[in-house]
Amino acid sequence: MAKRSKIFYSTLQKVKSDNIAKYGELTCEICEEPILAGELMHYDHVIPVSKATKENMKHRRVNGYLNLQVSHKKCNEEKGDKIDS
């Protein structure tokens, strides 16, 4: 398992702002539906911390920009520790 590092606030802000730039509004990367005002937003690990290995993390840090995405709370919880294709 890869070493877990601190998540920087600036990284979270960049993930969020790039999501808005991509979709035009804050959107869940899992279901691709908008995250509406009042809905809880999560930052999901594309490759979950528990599944991180040297092989699947070659060009990413566990808590780095390339391994984080915006999601609905519900979508993140349903995904759990699965790796999306």
pLDDT tens string 39-49: 999 999 998 88
Domain extents in the chain: 9-79
Residue 5: is its pLDDT beyond 70? no
Q: Identify which has the larger pLDDT, 2 or 70.
A: 70
Q: pLDDT at position 4, please?
A: 57
End-to-end CA distance of the chain: 20
Structure tokens at 34: 């908008």
The 10 Å Cβ neighbour count of residue 16 is 15
CA distances from 27 to 6, 31, 52, 62 (A): 24, 8, 25, 22
pLDDT at 59: 78
Percent of the chain whose predicted confidence (pLDDT) is above 70? 93
Residue 12 clears pLDDT 80, i.e. is over it: yes
Judged against a pLDDT cut of 80, whether residue 10 lies above it is answered with yes
pLDDT(85) > 80: no
